[in-house]
Copies of this chain bind each other. A is one copy, B any other.
Amino acid sequence: MPEFFNVLPPQQALAALLKVLPPPSIALEEVPAQDSLGRVTATDLVSQQDLPTFPRSTVDGYSLRAADSFGATEGLPACFSVVGEVPMGRAPAIAVSLGEAAGTYTGGMLASGADAVIMVEHTQQIDADTIEVVRPVAPGENVVQPGEDVRTGDSILPRGHLLRPQDVGGLAALGITSLPVARRPRVAVLSMGDEVVSPENEPAVGQIRDVNSYTIASQILRGGAEPVPLGIVPDNYEDQLEVARRGLENSDALVFSAGSSVSARDMTADIINALGKPGVLVHGLSIHPGKPAIVGMVDQKPVFGLPGNPVSAMIVFDLLVHPILYHLAGCTTLPEPARTAARLDRDVASVPGREDYLPVRLKRGDLDGSEELVAEPVFGKSNLIFTLIRADGLVQVPLDKAGLYAGETVVVRLFQ
């Protein structure tokens, strides 16, 4: 039973894969803008117009000629005749000249001839047709100018941008009702092992239900991609190779949810090497749990052998597969993982020379009677899925540390 060859830290393993992976070449598809949340732009989007298209007031008040307000104070206010009101949503039929003002609403147009808006709070109503202005306004004050939000020809969203709620709003603002996005990457998942049965079956003695391909499929969905389940294939080299080959042909990436024994890992590595060149790139990571992971590339597509232990598989997916899903979709910047700071409630030992990932549960603090978040380690063997279910996130113990101290503030990577 041979051991690992080139054990690497996860960041180096990721870099090794990214170095050989071709630039993303996934097909694009046109989607309605209102269905584009979470998708990745497939082209550079450029504004075809100025936004706003007309000068808009940012306050409720009166539009007027700024010069007419110069010198106005509480003690010596400037008097204006109110010549009407600019209705919302229509071009102003009203104009102001010397000493005249027109009622103007937030978001509305200014009266013709006006170049500023005085806030209603800085005026006093004298009678139905007259106001006093108690401070001066500068030209352009309380006005958004045409093109101040976006100008014609401005890049609004670059290619490779992951669309968020405000981006969907921005598309609406510019009248962009559909746009090209990257097709969701298709990720084939092959579950391997003589002992593995589908969840709807009652396992016989010695059998277990397939856990990892369900966790993995959910993680694929979370990464904006589409899981393609290849089912469970018993430990037969030829069968697994054949199913993997067909799966990879119809997908953009392949994940093996392998048995966790050394022999199962070796079989996975053999299959990856048999599928095509260059095959296995990294065999083993310097992390715990998650050491027995495999990273490879076949026919320009990424291939991963995840450890059989559910905890290990999930951590390796987060560290290696998740960023690659975004790469496949052409995403230029990865979303930052959700994190929170918390204080550790006890000492935790670790082995220097590897990154340890420690599942923790978060509680509102008892430490020092403060209200801050407290991280409480969830101890459990890495082959127990409920270790992760009882946890809210992971604390990383860096490579060079021999542990963490009680009371230390740690960064918790949140499960979501």
A residues in contact (CB < 8 Å) with B = 1, 33-34, 37, 51-54, 56, 58, 60, 87-92, 105-109, 120, 144, 148-150, 156-157, 164-177, 193-196, 199-212, 214-219, 221-222, 234-235, 259-264, 308, 310, 314, 335-341, 362, 380-381, 383-389, 392, 414-416
Contacts and interface: CB of A to CB of B under 8 A. Distances in A.
Given A88-B206, A310-B166, A314-B165, A177 B149 contact: no
Nearest to A3: B121
A208 B176 CA distance: 14
Contacts of A1: 60, 120
Given A106-B308, A170-B385, A337-B338, 7 more contacts: A33-B199, A157-B389, A164-B218, A164-B415, A166-B388, A170-B211, A170-B386
A166 B261 contact: no
Number of copies: 2
A215 B177 contact: no
A218 B149 contact: no
A130 B100 CA distance: 106
A107 B308 contact: yes
A50 to B, nearest CB: 12
B108 A172 contact: no
Given A89-B196, A106-B260, A385 B416 contact: no
A90 B235 CA distance: 13
A259 B193 CA distance: 60
A384 B148 contact: yes
B144 A383 contact: yes
Nearest to A90: B206
A319 to B, nearest CB: 14
A194 B89 contact: yes
